[in-house]
Amino acid sequence: MSDKIRIAIGDDHPLFRKGVADILQPEPDLEIVGECAAAQEAIRLCQDLLPDVILLYLNMPDGGLNAIRAIAMACPVTKIVVLTVVDNEEYVMAAFKAGAHAYVLKGVTARELISIVRSVRAGEGYVSPGLAAHLLSEMTSIGAGEHPEISAFGELTERERQVLELIAVGASNKEIGQQLHVTEKTVKYYVTNILQKLHVRNRVEAALLAQKGAKGRI
């Protein structure tokens, strides 16, 4: 049973914590290992238990962003999934800069949440689709001169560019594989290669960077 995804839940609303636990716990590959109600508790919990994934409420007491930064630094093995009702692009960027791996609005369905937890544990990033669209639109107006990584687009193969274009519109590895008629394992290989070439941490940063350099580049 050691291959289970170990999950912690950080939210100051007990009823919400219970609801999330009730959704995730029945899954055979998921295990709830701890809960907390404040940012400092979340930091201590991660340091003590080193969960694979923590679901963290952004506006929890003591400051969710502070917790993200501290956990990202002290427990890099723990993937941070932000759960929030705040659909604001500035908060999304702040969360990812602090070290989050996913930004999920609380209106997400149970099945989607389970899928997100699994994909984040596997190394993928996630932004709720509506927010991603707004973010990508915003980023197209930012000059590429501030980001020398954009020159790395020239190093991408034609297939890698196709994969990156699909990442930029929010497609999952499975969806990319279906569209390009390759296996999901092959897509993961391409994604890993793309992240290394662009010098970014996750697919969300790759998508944002792709949009910055989209004009005349991809």
Which residues face 32 on adjacent strands?
7
Mean pLDDT, consecutive 10-residue stretches, the chain (218 aa), reads 84 92 95 94 93 92 88 91 85 86 88 92 80 56 44 74 84 88 86 80 76 52
Spatial neighbors of 196 by CB under 8 A, at least 6 apart, are none
Complete domains list, the chain, with CATH: 5-133 (3.40.50.2300), 140-212 (1.10.10.10)
Alpha-carbon gap, residue 57 to 197, rounded angstroms: 32
pLDDT score at 168: 79
Q: Which residues lie closer than 8 Å to 126 by C-beta, 6 or more apart?
A: 81, 101, 102, 103, 104, 116, 119, 120, 204
Distance CA 204, CA 90 (A): 15
Q: Which helix (H) or strand (E) holds 20?
A: helix 14-24
Predicted model pTM? 0.66
